[in-house]
Amino acid sequence: MAATRIVEVLPGPGDVHRAAAERFLAAAREALDLRGRFAVALSGGSTPRDLYRRLAEPPYLDRVPWARTYVLFGDERCVPPDDPRSNYRMAMETFLHRVPVPAEQILRVTGEATDPARAAAAYEAELRGLFAAEGTARFDLVLLGVGTDGHTASLFPGSPALGETSRWVAASFVPKLGSWRVTLTLPALNAARRVLFLVTGEQKARVFAEAFGGVPHEPAHPCELVAPTDGLVEVLADRAAASRVPPRADRP
C-alpha cells in the first residue's frame, strides 16, 4: 500500500496546534482501543511547543491514555538532557513533567554520550525491543517538523543518513550546524502508522510550496521522503506557511 497524504491549511498557528492536539488524542485513543498502548515519537524545534503545552491541559490532560503511552523521540541533539538545546528537555518542560506517563515509558536518546554512533545503536536496541512483536518501527504516531532547508527529524539535505535502508536510528553530523545529531531514519519513519507534520510561519513558505504545494524543485526535500508504505501522512500548516502555494488550475 502507498502512503496517503493529506494537507490541511488552517488560519493561524493556534488553529494548527488545536487541530494537532485533537489528532494526537485521536491517534492515542485508537491505538489504545486496538493495541492496548500508544507509541508516539516527538519532534523537537519550536513549532510543537504550543501543541505540547496544550497536551498538559484539559481536556487532553484527562483524556489521553498517558498510563499506556510510550514517548519516544524522532531525533535528538547530542547534548546532555538538561541542555537548553535538548529535545528531551523541551518536551519535559512543555508537558512531560505534567502528564502521568510512567517514567520508564519515556525513552530518550542518550544525547550526552561521547560517541553518537553508540547512542544511536543503543536507541535502536530500545526501539527494537519496544516493537519486537511488529518487527518494524510501527509507531502509532510520529510528529515531525520541517526546516527551511527541507530537513525533518535530523535528516538534513545531503546527509548520509538519508541513504540508510535498514537501521532505524543513525548518528548524523550536520556540517552547517557543526554538531552531531541522532535521528530516526527513513526505514523507521516509513514504518509508522501515522505521521503528522506541523508547519507554521512565513519562513517555511518556500519549502512548504515545494514539498507539499506542487512547486517544481530538485532534489526532493528530506521531508518529502517520509511516505510510510502502510500509513497516513497528514500535514497541518497555517496560511503563512502555505502563502506561496500557487492556486490550483482546477480551483475556481
Query: Which positions ≥6 away from 84 have C-beta within 8 Å?
Result: none
Out of 10, 16, 40, 47, the only residue in the binding site for ligand 6PG (CB under 6 A) is 47
Q: How many CB atoms lie within 10 A of CB 114?
A: 8
Question: Does 69 interact with ligand 6PG (rule: CB under 6 A)?
Answer: no
Question: Does 43 interact with ligand 6PG (rule: CB under 6 A)?
Answer: yes
Question: Does 235 interact with ligand 6PG (rule: CB under 6 A)?
Answer: no
CB of 154 or CB of 185, closer to ligand 6PG:
154
Question: Does 222 interact with ligand 6PG (rule: CB under 6 A)?
Answer: no
Stretch near ligand 6PG under the rule CB under 6 A, chosen from 16-24, 37-45, 162-170, 205-213 = 37-45
What backbone torsions phi and psi does residue 164 show, to the nearest 5 degrees?
Answer: -65, 130
CB of 15 or CB of 230, closer to ligand 6PG:
15
- Residues 176, 187: contact at Cβ < 8 Å? no
Burial label, 29 (beta-carbon count in 10 A; 0-12, 13-18, 19+): middle
Buried b (16+ CB within 10 A) or exposed e, 217-248: eeeebbbbbbebeebbbbbbbbbbbbbbbeee
Out of 86, 110, 152, 159, the only residue in the binding site for ligand 6PG (CB under 6 A) is 152
CB of 34 or CB of 52, closer to ligand 6PG:
52
Out of 45, 65, 157, 187, the only residue in the binding site for ligand 6PG (CB under 6 A) is 45
Stretch near ligand 6PG under the rule CB under 6 A, chosen from 31-39, 99-107, 141-149, 162-170 = 141-149
Strand partners, 180: 173
Give the ranges where the chain is alpha helix by DSSP (H). Answer: 13-35, 49-55, 60-63, 87-91, 116-130, 186-189, 205-212
CB of 44 or CB of 116, closer to ligand 6PG:
44
Question: Does 150 interact with ligand 6PG (rule: CB under 6 A)?
Answer: no
* Binding region for ligand 6PG (CB under 6 A): 43-47, 74-75, 87, 145-147, 151-154
